[in-house]
Amino acid sequence: MIPGVGDRPTLQTVAEAVGVSRATVSNAYNRPDQLSPALRERILEAARRLGYAGPDPAARGLRLRQAGTIGVLVGAPLTYAFRDPATGLFLEGIARAGERAGTAMLLIPSPPGEDPTAAIRGAVVDGFCLNCVPEGDPVFAAVRERRLPTAVVEGAAGEGVAHVDIDQRGGARQAAEHLVSLGHRRFGIVVARLAGDRRIGPVDAARLESALQPVSRGRLLGYRDALVRAGADWDAVPVQEAGSHGFDAGIAAARAVLEADPGVTAILADSDLLALGAMRAAAEAGRRVPADLSVAGFDDIPLAAQAQPPLTTIAQPLVEKGEAAYRLIQEMLAGGPARAVQLPVELVVRGSTAPPVTGAP
């Protein structure tokens, strides 16, 4: 069969109509300077007339060995990515860097039930960016098998893989130290998730020990660092796993904490949305923030500053995280080595934290 005689017009179809070669038609699109303007116009005109949609990106990608796309995986069902502002801002960073370079981003789903690696094997991309993929996740192995430039953000490091992170533990420590320095001695803690399961409930030593989620794990360890150093009885500190980063999850978790120890004067939350939920739970319990209860978050999403009172939190450069990941991938695409980048965090004191009313140690 003669090529280009299918139903969809191709380069060949146009070439035959105009009476030139495929190469010339290709040049009309990709190298206008390689042919006379008159011929080019004739070709483009014929293409319009024939309904030719322009060079097929799939074929072109095969030939050029590049897709102009990077694949993004978030360590949770994709639907979650659009609910969590922190994840959203991270994606924004990638999008922003990609927009500058004209690169699109492919959001790769990992359906919970099915084989989550199928989409990874089938992704037409030049590189991968993984966000919050826990250690030992099959997704990580599947990505590595593609042998494409890969950046991991807040997740398991690996040989030949670029890495972007923040100082989770140090940041959390700062938040706790801030509250200690205000005079607080009885704390409650809310964390999102320590493992891949969606467990909700109190966290004991074993659970923390076996935690796989590097983010919540690191932050919880940071809280512990500061509280232990301040002389708190760690085993008496109520720690509640919320199951997710959601506002409602934060309400429920904070309720559990306040129930476990009504005497807490401060709540440390793993993320801003949880903290916002904790503030709401406090209000429902008749406690004013910060007069009766201090609350600190983590991330500094825009909502944190807009809340009432505005939330004290650990600011991390969410958008920059995405931009950095994109940059590291590009470096590898250009033949460079896999680098690791650590981004700074910063304590932002706002209105949700204050000295406890009863300063009793």
Partner DNA sequence: TTGTAGGCGTTATCAA
Partner DNA sequence: TTGATAACGCCTACAA
**Which residues lie near a second copy (CB under 8 A)?**
51, 53-62, 65, 67-69, 71, 77-79, 81-83, 88-89, 91-92, 95-96, 98-100, 102-109, 111, 114, 118-119, 121-124, 145-148, 247, 280, 302, 306, 308
* Partner whose binding site includes residue 4, from a second copy, DNA, none (CB under 5 to 8 Å by kind): DNA
Rounded-to-integer distance, Cα 305 and Cα 19, Å: 65
* Positions that interact with DNA (CB under 7 A): 1, 3-6, 8, 10-12, 19-24, 26-27, 29-31, 34-36, 39, 54-56, 59-60, 62-65
* Partner whose binding site includes residue 230, from DNA, a second copy, none (CB under 5 to 8 Å by kind): none
DSSP code at position 311? P
* Partner whose binding site includes residue 27, from DNA, a second copy, none (CB under 5 to 8 Å by kind): DNA
Name the β-bridge partners of 268: 189, 296
- Closer to a second copy by CB, 28 or 180: give it: 28
- Closer to a second copy by CB, 57 or 243: give it: 57
* Partner whose binding site includes residue 95, from a second copy, DNA, none (CB under 5 to 8 Å by kind): a second copy
CB of 174 to a second copy, least distance (A): 27
User: How big is the chain, counted in residues?
Assistant: 361
Task: Establish whether the linkage from the previous residue to 309 is cis, with ω within 30° of 0.
Answer: yes
Q: Using CB atoms within 10 A of its CB, is residue 51 exposed (0-12), middle (13-18) or buried (19+)?
A: exposed
Residue the block writes with tokens 């966000």: 131
Nearest partner of 189 among 229, 228, 230, 241, judged by Cα: 241
- Closer to a second copy by CB, 123 or 314: give it: 123
Q: Do the Cβ atoms of 108 and 123 come closer than 8 Å?
A: yes
State in Å, rounded, how far the first CA of the chain is from the last one.
87
- Closer to a second copy by CB, 74 or 151: give it: 74
- Closer to a second copy by CB, 46 or 176: give it: 46
Nearest partner of 313 among 176, 218, 155, 131, judged by Cα: 176
- Closer to a second copy by CB, 89 or 264: give it: 89
CB of 138 to a second copy, least distance (A): 15
Nearest partner of 269 among 236, 225, 291, 238, judged by Cα: 238
* Partner whose binding site includes residue 350, from DNA, a second copy, none (CB under 5 to 8 Å by kind): none
